[in-house]
Amino acid sequence: MSDQGARDAALLTDRHLLLQAPAGSGKTTVLAQRFLAALAQVEEPEQVLAITFTRKAAAEMRERVLAALEGRMAGDTPDLQRWAQLREDVLRQVQRRGWAIEELPARLRIQTIDSLCHEIARAMPLLGRMHQSLEVVDDARPAFLEAAGQTLRMADEEPELQADADRLLRRLDNDWDRARQLLADLLPGRNRWLQVLAIESPEALGARVAASLRRIVGESLCAMQTAIPVALCEEAAALLRASARNRAAAGMDDGGAVWLQPGTALADDPVQLLAWQAMASLALKDDGE
């Protein structure tokens, strides 16, 4: 379809339309014209809704629509005739339906997604279990922290959730603030994991997490094996064997006796993982130096 054909098709409001075009190609113009075309066919102006991601985009589209309705389209606009025809169609609908023309700008629903959600929530406070004094915030992190804290407190009060909450806190050395922060960090991306948690069984989720951990460990070990020269790995193996003998002579465990085998595939190999862990224990201090 040609560019002009696509612009013409956008004015046919009896069909759905997906508009894809690069920046600066006139998408706002096409959408504003489609808005006017729909406005000329509805019983009430509020029946036409345009939502955008940003306030700037909403303001730009509103200005385009108002300029057309007020006959202010001029200058180098290439399709003044189209704007004029759409304006006439809307004004005829204003007369047919008895709309107050001076009230029309206030009745145009061109808004952001946030403002639409806010409007819906305020219209149904009891159903949404919310208060009338709602407001849209740019930084939701304090709200996420509050929600995470309430979750931990509720889990501690629910017998069926206490074991899970206790397990989480034990793994974090009973650091309640750290647990709250980790839960809060999950909330901005909840659209990616919420459905998975609702569908998958705990066993299946555990298997997926375990598989991810094995993959991460395998990739990390392979990267280390590539980065460390073979001679250095062989020297480490000799040191591990000597350490193992000394530990055994002292009556300690022989975990350091694992043979470090340079040049072998490390992924999904628990013996090799133990070897790397033994080398880390031998070479690194508690602070990782």
Mean pLDDT, rounded, for 159-175:
92
CA–CA gap between residue 168 and residue 165 (Å, rounded): 5
Predicted confidence (pLDDT) at residue 264 exceeds the cutoff of 70: no
Residues paired with 110 in a beta bridge: 50
- pLDDT-wise least confident of 19-23, 97-101, 172-176: 19-23
Where residue 231 falls among pLDDT bands split at 50, 70, 90?
confident
Q: What confidence score (pLDDT) does residue 256 get? A: 45
User: How much is the mean pLDDT over the chain?
Assistant: 84
What string of H, E and C letters represents the secondary structure of the chain?
Answer: CCHHHHHHHCCCCCCCCCCCCCCCCCHHHHHHHHHHHHHCCCCCHHHCEEEECCHHHHHHHHHHHHHHHCCCCCCCCCCHHHHHHHHHHHHHHHHHHCCCHHHHHHHCEEEEHHHHHHHHHHHCCCCCCCCCCCCCCCCCHHHHHHHHHHHHHHHHHCHHHHHHHHHHHHHCCCCHHHHHHHHHHHHHHHHHHHHHHHHCCHHHHHHHHHHHHHHHHHHHHHHHHHHCCHHHHHHHHHHHHHHHHHHHHCCCCCHHHCCCCCCCCCCCCHHHHHHHHHHHHHHCCCCCC
pLDDT exceeds cutoff 70 at 1: no
What was the pLDDT predicted at 166? 93
Examine the pLDDT at 174 and tell me if it is beyond 70.
yes
Q: What's the average model confidence in pLDDT over 202-211?
A: 90
| Band of residue 36 on the pLDDT scale cut at 50, 70, 90 | very high
More confident of the two residues 256 and 25 = 25
**Domains of the chain, earliest start first:** 3-123 (3.40.50.300), 141-199 (no CATH), 215-283 (no CATH)
- Is the separation of the CB atoms in 240 and 266 below 8 Å? no
Burial class (CB within 10 angstroms; exposed 0-12, middle 13-18, buried 19+) of 283: exposed
Residue 265 has pLDDT above 60, yes or no: no
Angle, nearest 10°, between helix axes 230-249 and 270-283?
80
Q: Please tell me the predicted confidence (pLDDT) of residue 130.
A: 63
Query: pTM for the complete prediction?
Result: 0.54
Structure tokens at 63: 């200005």
Q: How far apart are CA 82 and CA 68, in angstroms?
A: 10
Model pLDDT, residue 93: 94
Q: State the maximum Cα–Cα separation within the chain, in Å, rounded to a whole number.
A: 101
Quick one: pLDDT at residue 76?
Answer: 58
Q: Burial level of 173, CB count in 10 A (0-12/13-18/19+)?
A: exposed
pLDDT at 255 over 60: no
The pLDDT of 83-97, averaged and rounded, is 92
Q: Give residue 45's pLDDT band: very low, low, confident or very high (50, 70, 90).
A: very high
Flag the least confident range among 20-29, 98-107, 111-120, 259-268. Answer: 259-268
Q: Please report which confidence band the pLDDT of residue 62 belongs to, taking 50, 70 and 90 as the band edges.
A: very high
- For the cut 60, the answer to whether the pLDDT of residue 14 exceeds it is yes
The pLDDT of residue 89:
93
Is the per-residue pLDDT at 214 higher than 60? Answer: yes
pLDDT digits (tens, 9 = 90+) for 120-150: 877 776 665 666 667 777 788 999 999 999 9
